[in-house]
Amino acid sequence: MTCEVTFMIIRIENIADYVDQTITMQGWIYAKTGKGKLHFIQLRDGTGIAQCVVFQKEVSEEVFDVTQQLTQESSVLLTGTVRKDERAPGVPGGYEVGVTDIQVIQSVNEYPITPKEHGVEFLLDRRHLWIRSSRQWAILRIRACIMRSIREWLDENGFLEMTTPVITPAAVEGTSTLFEIDYFDKTAYLCQTGQLYNEANIAAFGKVYAFGPTFRAEKSKTRRHLTEFWMVEPEIAYCDLGQLLEIEEQFVSHIVQSCLKKCSAELALLGRDISMLSNIKPPFPRITYDNAIERLIDLKNETDDPEQKSLIDIEWGDDFGAPHETALTQMFDKPVFITHYPTQVKAFYMPVLENRPEVCCSADLLAPEGYGEIIGGSERIHDHDTLVNRIKEHNLPIETYDWYLDLRKYGSVPHSGFGLGIERTVSWICGIEHIRETSPYPRMINRDNP
């Protein structure tokens, strides 16, 4: 198979730079519609979608013949002249190509995903093809932008990326939510967090972050859960809760503003309401857990709907469920920090407030529009004996915390950190319903393929 090219190859995202020039694009037929002697082709090349127009009288008989035979997802080299035309759809759109030549690399028979409706199961079974569809393409481009802007902000603000192991030797907490693997006849587990290693790394590097996949064997079947998801976990030495929240709001704002700047075409394709994102700038509102409970109880008393009443029913000491998070986030038009959760619902390493041991120095960040928790963070206990007591109180195997406790013997300092879930953040920024569309190949309780 030859790929003879006689004109300049361009990427569709740069099409506006080539008006009145004859160019070649390397891509796939996304859609085609014919009107007798006039055919419209939507060509994808990975960077965008361009409308290409074939007039019978402007091309050879052979090329028009080829045009009529083109099928969805056939791979082609397409040559023509770029022109501005406001009628032209596509991404970026507004430009189209008057075709002069088409070279088919492979002609496709019966591509399974048509431009019509399909069910979720059908599409997920064909995820390797579904990612070519414009909506999925846009979501995954935004995901990449989010990941890029995360590294951008952290790298520019003095954080060092430091990887943490995926294979870990012992359960930090109960084994029920860990994936077990056979590690040379010993049991090992896939990581749930890199945090403990981050806490070692800050003593070497000051400010660090881990960025990678994490695994939860929870049998959760909701629109917010995956069994494999990506998390970025920054950790900062000499940092208290107040300083941590300032870092978080700048960090999250940078991510959102980067997407608005670099992915406006993708957000438009998804039909995302940009006004809900453009005001995401520091400062974010902060309320205490106590106050959140008061607000939920008030809301419950104000509502007449008995179903809603029981959904948001809550007592001090309970952790929030999805309906509570949704109700709370709808009270604000920015992400909101909920601080000082009850000690009993949070992790063993979070320090308690000096005069109120029933609450701890923790904060979650809830995304607006009902999207809920995207960040969990806290100060970490830095006193050796306090930490030992808490490990014992939680009935955790103290011997597995040897090296972790070492960190409290050799130059322990106050420190804090947080973890941001990538897929939940993508859901929020893209404004989509279900987290499964935010991962290229989502892993869920009943799905490990493709």
Partner RNA sequence: UCCUCGGUAGCUCAAUUGGCAGAGCGAUCGGCUGUUAACCGAUUGGUUACAGGUUCAAGUCCUGUCCGAGGAGCCA
Q: Which residues of the chain form contacts with RNA (CB under 7 A)?
A: 31, 33-38, 40, 51, 53, 55-57, 71-72, 85, 87-89, 96, 110, 112, 114-122, 124, 172-173, 176-177, 192-193, 195-196, 216, 218-225, 319, 321-323, 346-347, 362, 376, 419, 434, 444, 446-447
| Nearer residue to RNA within complex by CB, 56 or 257 | 56
| Nearer residue to RNA within complex by CB, 172 or 255 | 172
The least CB distance from residue 179 to RNA, in Å, is 14
The least CB distance from residue 372 to RNA, in Å, is 9
The least CB distance from residue 156 to RNA, in Å, is 26
The least CB distance from residue 362 to RNA, in Å, is 7
| Nearer residue to RNA within complex by CB, 215 or 251 | 215
Tokens of 220: 């959760």
The least CB distance from residue 171 to RNA, in Å, is 8
The least CB distance from residue 261 to RNA, in Å, is 26
Backbone angles phi, psi at 139, to 5 degrees: -60, -45
| Nearer residue to RNA within complex by CB, 135 or 148 | 135
| Nearer residue to RNA within complex by CB, 154 or 375 | 375
The least CB distance from residue 34 to RNA, in Å, is 4
| Nearer residue to RNA within complex by CB, 17 or 121 | 121
| Nearer residue to RNA within complex by CB, 34 or 283 | 34
The least CB distance from residue 101 to RNA, in Å, is 18
| Nearer residue to RNA within complex by CB, 41 or 256 | 41
| Nearer residue to RNA within complex by CB, 142 or 350 | 350
| Nearer residue to RNA within complex by CB, 26 or 42 | 42
Backbone angles phi, psi at 55, to 5 degrees: -95, 135
Write out the chain in H/E/C secondary structure.
CCCCCCCEECCHHHHHHHECCEEEEEEEEEEEEEECCEEEEEEECCCCEEEEEEEHHHCCHHHHHHHHHCCCCCEEEEEEEEEECCCCCEECCCEEEEEEEEEEEECCCCCCCCCCCCCHHHHHHCHHHHCCCHHHHHHHHHHHHHHHHHHHHHHHCCCEECCCCCEECCCCCCHHHCCEEEECCEEEEECCCCHHHHHHHHHHHCEEEEEEEEECCCCCCCCCCCCEEEEEEEEEECCCHHHHHHHHHHHHHHHHHHHHHHCHHHHHHCCCCCHHHHCCCCCCCEEEHHHHHHHHHHHHHHCCCHHHHHHCCCCCCCCCCHHHHHHHHCCCCCCEEEECCEHHHCCCCCCEECCEEEEECEEEEEECCCCEEEEEEEEECCCHHHHHHHHHHCCCCHHHHHHHHHCCCCCCCCEEEEEEEHHHHHHHHHCCCCHHHHCCCCCECCECCC
Answer yes or no: are the C-beta atoms of 28 and 74 closer than 8 Å.
Answer: yes
Task: Report the relative pairing of strands 38-44 and 22-35 from DSSP bridges.
Answer: antiparallel
The least CB distance from residue 4 to RNA, in Å, is 26
The least CB distance from residue 110 to RNA, in Å, is 5
